[in-house]
Amino acid sequence: MTPKRPYILRALYEWLVENDLTPHLVVDAEYPYVEVPQQFVQDGQIVLNVLPGAIQGLIMGNEQVSFRTRFNGQDQKIVLPIGSILAIYARENGAGTIFEPEDALLSEVEGESAEQHDNSNSSNNNDQPEKPKKGPTLTVVK
């Protein structure tokens, strides 16, 4: 199954912009392949204003978010792997969401796979064959 984070991120971004709010991204600046200006990183994180007027060339893909913006008058390319984005929120009122850490998502997916594997093994180990389930039936009421 594909991760839901990029879809939620795009939906919240669109909703915030449509409601005239200023979307901000909280990013783990130490995440692999993150490209942000390191001089603005505090405690391993950076908060980025992603209002359409503040950025150019926004691409929100399933693997990464990228755009160009200016820091102290210098043009800067920003690249954010989806797993590096910790939260999206509105500056004005805090509306938005905090995302689960990538580790939790990975273990959740692994847990589902193990559970499905266990279920398939337990059904194969039954001595009696499974009875086919009957579908729902409709009755005419007069």
24, amino acid identity: H
In terms of pLDDT, which residue wins out, 102 or 20?
A: 20
pLDDT category at 108 given cuts 50, 70, 90 is: very low
Instruction: List the chain domain ranges.
Output: 5-109
Task: Name every residue whose Cβ is closer than 8 Å to that of residue 14 and which is 6 or more positions away in sequence.
Answer: none
Q: Is the pLDDT of residue 37 over 50?
A: yes
CATH code given to domain 5-109 = 2.30.30.220
Helix (H, G, I), strand (E, B) or coil at 61: coil
Cβ-contact 24, 50 below 8 angstroms:
yes
Cβ-contact 25, 47 below 8 angstroms:
yes
